[in-house]
Chain A
Amino acid sequence: MTTETLASSTRVAAPKVKSELMQQRIRAARLFLIPMLVALAVVAGWPLLRSIYFSFTDASLSNLEAAQWVGFGNYLRWTVMESGAVRYRGLLVDPAWWNAVWNTVRFAFISVAFEAVLGMVVALVLNAEFKGRGIVRAAILIPWAIPTIVSARMWSWMLNDQFGILNDLGMRLGLLSQKVAWTATADTAMTAVLIVDIWKTTPFMALLILAGLQMIPKDIYEAAEIDGVHPVKQFFKITLPLVRPALMVAIIFRLLDALRIFDLIYVLTPNSSATKTMSVMARENLFDFDKFAYGSAMSTMLFTIIAVLTIVYIWLGQVRFDGGDR
């Protein structure tokens, strides 16, 4: 017995001669992957490294080449006053930045929470059999297909304080007592952004959840029906656990997307500090305020924050990208 295991272990360790076929395939695979990898390195890898580098320099938009290394200066630096008090400056103590971080995180979590719940409702509706299901599915694809910029503009017209149809509808139905300047008021700006984002991206969520729902075998429900399990209990005991992997994947995709939101806010509520997100602020500093290095520091922070959140989510939620939804 011992000798046999020994023999087999040496066999595994012995160098394997690769056949022509395997060599050919591996050579081809390498050749096929190189162009893609080079392309990704040029458009993603290198620019990412350069962005991080710029965040440690004093680069300005007009003079990138002359950028000087300043260490962590853009993130945190301090000067000791004559009085002995220490003044901190830099991104880490910039209240406007932390406001943007808070806006982004708040936006991401609220919008994704609503989208998950509403997406589940829409998915459950689409999973039922009824006349006109095709029409519903076609209808919910429309918000998804409309470019974000277009939907931002469409909604800003609908949310217009004077001539907007939503104010009109709200007043007619008695939901609003007076016309609201949705996008201009600090109190309602975030609500407006959330409404548009939820409207636009719930379909995507619904389709991903629907795909998960359709993988649940029908006979499980038939069995539950025969056992007299109440539909509500069926949902929490059968549907939710079984659709969880698909839901978790859908949520992380949406979360990552929401955390980098830029275009909707840029167009719908420009210059509103109530909705300014990390991306909007980073771009502003990079290209509008000529604080290229400071903007780079912001984008680097943004990248770090998203990376950390993603890792935490995958770790806590035990998301599996391959096995989960297939």
Chain B
Amino acid sequence: MGATFNLWKLIKWTLFYILVTFIVVVSVFPFYYAILTSFKSGTALFQINYWPTSFSLDNYFNVLNSGSFPRNLLNSIFVASVTVILALFLAITASFALARVRFRGRGLLLLTILGVSMFPQMAVLAGLFEVIRALGIYNTPWALIFSYTIFTLPFTVWVLTTFMRDLPVEIEEAAIVDGATPWVIITRVFMPLMWPALVTTGLLAFIGAWNEFLFALTFTANNDTRTVPVAIALLSGSTQYEIPWGNIMAASVIVTVPLVILVLIFQRKIVSGLTAGGVKG
């Protein structure tokens, strides 16, 4: 009896770990393969290998030295950072109002905000295009910062509201008795308590802005103003049939590695932020 039981257990565990291994391999392999490809050059590119065979930095050299890719990187960093800072600035005060003050229509307002964050961006594209041209910011980073607000702002408001709702009521009441105005409560009592939440929310919003494609494609028109997703999507060779796979993979790795590192560092916080907001970053 005991032996069969142990055998069963062994089989169960083996199957379980096969499943686990499968999940891990499927998750990681495409990225691994991209890195593998990015280190190949010349004809090595067109030999299919599962393990590293050659090591060359040519692709990275090409991407970083030719064309506008470094400029695109800077654009992405600038756009994503400014977008996040603006969204957080507006969202902190708004989420205080939504999480902490009882007023009529609060539930409806929250639902509207959730609705906007879930909104098909295509539905506003035509109107946004008009506004951006009217403001004279077409083909500048400001066009992107402006348009990205449509998804970063509702997202940060929603997530920060759920975080702020969980802060203890008595601390706020102590501050009220101490004579603190709402502004003082936010800046001197809540913000210091919320910085982990702010970092998480900011990071998620940053990833969202960093990865955005539709607006970046539509509101920028030349190589110098594009962000990296657009640059990578439009990276092509001299002819239509000559796609520079090595360069594309190198660019992809450059864009993705910082994100993956950030995500792995802030793993736990990101998971809590994602599930608190229940919204894709």
Asked if chains A and B are in direct contact (CB within 8 A), the reply is yes
- Enumerate chain A interface residues (CB-CB to B < 8 A): 21, 24-26, 28-33, 35-36, 39-40, 42-44, 46-51, 53-54, 64, 121-122, 125, 128, 130, 132, 135-155, 157-158, 160, 162-165, 168, 199, 203-204, 207-208, 210-211, 249-250, 253-254, 256-257, 259-260, 262-263, 266-267, 278-279, 282-283, 286-287, 292, 295-296, 299-300, 302-303, 306, 310, 321, 325-326
In the complex, chain B residues 106-144 whose Cβ is within 8 Å of any chain A Cβ: 109, 111, 113-114, 116, 118-131, 133
Cα-based distance from A29 to B100 in the complex (angstroms): 9
Knowing A36-B90, A157-B34, the reply to whether A148 touches B127 (Cβ < 8 A) is no
Chain B residues with CB under 8 A of A204: 274, 280
Question: Are A165 and B33 in contact (CB-based, < 8 A)?
Answer: yes
Quick one: closest A residue to B128, CB to CB?
A47
Question: Are B34 and A48 in contact (CB-based, < 8 A)?
Answer: no
Question: Are A207 and B275 in contact (CB-based, < 8 A)?
Answer: yes
Question: Are B28 and A142 in contact (CB-based, < 8 A)?
Answer: yes
B267 at the interface (CB under 8 A from A): yes
5 pairs of A and B residues whose beta carbons are closest in the complex: A47-B127, A50-B127, A29-B97, A303-B123, A32-B93
Closest-CB distance, A189 to chain B (whole angstroms): 17
Quick one: closest B residue to A204, CB to CB?
B280
Chain B residues with CB under 8 A of A154: 30-31, 33-34, 249, 252
Knowing A46-B127, A50-B131, A148-B211, the reply to whether A140 touches B93 (Cβ < 8 A) is no
Question: Are A35 and B90 in contact (CB-based, < 8 A)?
Answer: yes
Closest-CB distance, B116 to chain A (whole angstroms): 5
- Can you report 17 residue pairs joining A to B where beta carbons are below 8 Å apart? A25-B101, A35-B94, A39-B149, A42-B131, A47-B131, A49-B127, A125-B20, A136-B23, A139-B24, A141-B264, A148-B211, A149-B213, A157-B249, A199-B26, A257-B118, A283-B122, A292-B126
Cα-based distance from A293 to B252 in the complex (angstroms): 36
Binds A, one of B1-9, B191-199, B253-261: B253-261
Question: Are A28 and B182 in contact (CB-based, < 8 A)?
Answer: yes
Chain B residues with CB under 8 A of A42: 131
Chain B residues with CB under 8 A of A208: 274-275, 278
Cα-based distance from A149 to B93 in the complex (angstroms): 34
Q: Mark B221-252, 1 if CB is under 8 A from A, else 0.
A: 00000001110110000000000010011001
Question: Are A130 and B20 in contact (CB-based, < 8 A)?
Answer: yes
Closest-CB distance, B151 to chain A (whole angstroms): 9
Question: Are B157 and A145 in contact (CB-based, < 8 A)?
Answer: no
Q: Mark B85-113, 1 if CB is under 8 A from A, else 0.
A: 00000110110111011010000010101
Closest-CB distance, A249 to chain B (whole angstroms): 6
Chain B residues with CB under 8 A of A21: 176
Quick one: closest A residue to B131, CB to CB?
A47
Interface secondary structure of A, over-half rule: helix
Chain B residues with CB under 8 A of A121: 19
Closest-CB distance, A57 to chain B (whole angstroms): 10
Quick one: closest A residue to B76, CB to CB?
A147
Cα-based distance from A151 to B31 in the complex (angstroms): 8
Q: With A153-B252, A321-B278 given, can you name 18 additional A-B contacts, CB distance below 8 Å?
A: A28-B101, A29-B182, A33-B109, A36-B91, A43-B131, A125-B16, A125-B20, A130-B16, A153-B232, A154-B30, A165-B33, A165-B50, A203-B27, A208-B278, A249-B278, A259-B120, A278-B122, A302-B123
Question: Are B259 and A147 in contact (CB-based, < 8 A)?
Answer: yes
Question: Are B111 and A321 in contact (CB-based, < 8 A)?
Answer: yes
Cα-based distance from A326 to B276 in the complex (angstroms): 9
B41 at the interface (CB under 8 A from A): no
Most chain A CB neighbours (cut-off 10 Å) among B90, B147, B149, B232: B90
Question: Are B274 and A207 in contact (CB-based, < 8 A)?
Answer: yes
- Enumerate chain B interface residues (CB-CB to A < 8 A): 16-17, 19-20, 23-24, 26-28, 30-31, 33-34, 37, 45-46, 48, 50, 90-91, 93-94, 96-98, 100-101, 103, 109, 111, 113-114, 116, 118-131, 133, 146-147, 149-150, 153-154, 157, 162, 176, 181-183, 207, 210-211, 213-214, 217-218, 228-230, 232-233, 245, 248-249, 252, 255-256, 259-260, 262-264, 267, 270-271, 274-275, 278-280
* Selected contact of A147 from candidates B96, B211, B271, CB within 8 Å: B211
Question: Are B122 and A260 in contact (CB-based, < 8 A)?
Answer: yes
Closest-CB distance, A137 to chain B (whole angstroms): 7
Knowing A36-B157, A279-B120, A299-B123, the reply to whether A26 touches B28 (Cβ < 8 A) is no
Question: Are A44 and B256 in contact (CB-based, < 8 A)?
Answer: no
Chain A residues with CB under 8 A of B157: 36
Knowing A32-B96, A43-B146, A253-B280, the reply to whether A51 touches B126 (Cβ < 8 A) is yes
Chain A residues with CB under 8 A of B17: 130
Cα-based distance from A24 to B119 in the complex (angstroms): 34
Closest-CB distance, A54 to chain B (whole angstroms): 5
Question: Are B213 and A263 in contact (CB-based, < 8 A)?
Answer: yes
Question: Are B232 and A29 in contact (CB-based, < 8 A)?
Answer: no
Closest-CB distance, A81 to chain B (whole angstroms): 33
Chain A residues with CB under 8 A of B97: 28-30, 32-33
Chain B residues with CB under 8 A of A249: 278
Question: Are A51 and B207 in contact (CB-based, < 8 A)?
Answer: no
Question: Are A253 and B27 in contact (CB-based, < 8 A)?
Answer: no
Chain B residues with CB under 8 A of A256: 118, 120
Question: Are B267 and A141 in contact (CB-based, < 8 A)?
Answer: yes
